[in-house]
Amino acid sequence: MKCIAVVMAMNSEASPIVTLLNAEPLAEIPFMPFQLYEAHRNDCRIIISVNGRDKRHGVDSIGTQTAALNAYVVAERFSPELMITAGTAGGWIQRGAEIGDVYVSDQKFVHHDRRIAIPGFTEYGIGSYPAVPTGALARTLNLKQGIVTTSNSLDENDDDRRLIAETGGVVKEMEAAAVAYVCDLMGIPVMALKAITDLVDHHAATADQFAANLRMASEQLAEKLVQVVDFCAARSIA
Ligand code: ADE
């Protein structure tokens, strides 16, 4: 591959991989909040684009809006052969997750908070955008695999729970389906790499688990992301 793009939501999620790859900052894009970095692995260009700070609220621009915009701008500018939506996520004890596990996406990307009870729109809301097959990668790098499910909320309510059970979601986060939507439109293969910061079915509050484990999970993510990038850079999608 000549170019792999990694899109990420939070600065703290990105900082270990930026350091590990020795990535150099790129110029800002007018009007856009993104922070861009470039690194090289063998002959492959690695673009890391972080959603950046929300100019109104001063926090990282997490969630689907900026994720879609970021994916689109990066796709247009750099024409990557592969897009990786990387970051942190929630998992479930019942589905075998442990804090710090790194999952790679499986099968499809879905939304669990777009409930539209009108014929035809129900499926549109869920999305089901294809994930690039990652079986060989997961086996080689010893990564767990699972369906990634996206919403714009950190917590989950009863409706979310029902939809996640229906779609088979195993990894819960806030950007991947939006990135996969853009990649589906633009014909770019996409995978997610997500490190678990919190267990949704644990008694401790999600936000507390997230804060306690963000740094460790982001370091685990960086370690695996380098391996994933090296694995992919040396191969074609096929
Ligand atoms: N990011 C990290 N943990 C998450 C969770 N439980 N839900 C959504 N996004 C997350």
Any atom of ligand 1 within 6 Å of the Cβ of 210: yes
Q: Return the structure tokens found at 14.
A: 């990105």
Q: For the chain, give the percent of residues with pLDDT over 90.
A: 99
Which one, of 135, 162, 133, lies nearest residue 149 by Cα?
Answer: 162
The residue-averaged pLDDT of 215-232 equals 98
Q: Dihedral, CA atoms, 114, 149, 53, 185, nearest 10 degrees?
A: -80
Give how far Cα 145 sits from Cα of 50, 187, 189, 195, Å: 24, 23, 17, 11
Q: What's residue 42's pLDDT?
A: 86
Residue among 112, 149, 150, 198 whose CB has most ligand 1 atoms within 8 A, to mutate: 198
Q: What's residue 91's pLDDT?
A: 98
Rounded to 5 degrees, what angle do the CA atoms 62, 64, 67 make? 75
Residue among 155, 173, 194, 201 whose CB has most ligand 1 atoms within 8 A, to mutate: 173
Model confidence at 128, in pLDDT bands (50, 70, 90)?
very high
71-93 pLDDT, tens per residue? 999 999 999 999 999 999 999 99
Contact 26, 37 (CB under 8 A): yes
12-69 pLDDT, tens per residue? 999 999 999 999 999 999 999 999 999 999 899 999 999 999 999 999 999 999 999 9
Per the annotation, the verdict on 54 as an active-site residue is no
Give how far Cα 215 sits from Cα of 151, 159, 190, 210, Å: 22, 30, 25, 9
Q: What's residue 208's pLDDT?
A: 98
Any atom of ligand 1 within 6 Å of the Cβ of 154: yes
Per the annotation, the verdict on 219 as an active-site residue is no
| Whole-number Å distance between alpha carbons of 28 and 35 | 7
pLDDT at 192 exceeding the cut of 90: yes
Model confidence at 143, in pLDDT bands (50, 70, 90)?
very high
Which one, of 61, 35, 57, 34, lies nearest residue 152 by Cα?
Answer: 61
The residue-averaged pLDDT of 138-153 equals 98
| Whole-number Å distance between alpha carbons of 199 and 9 | 20
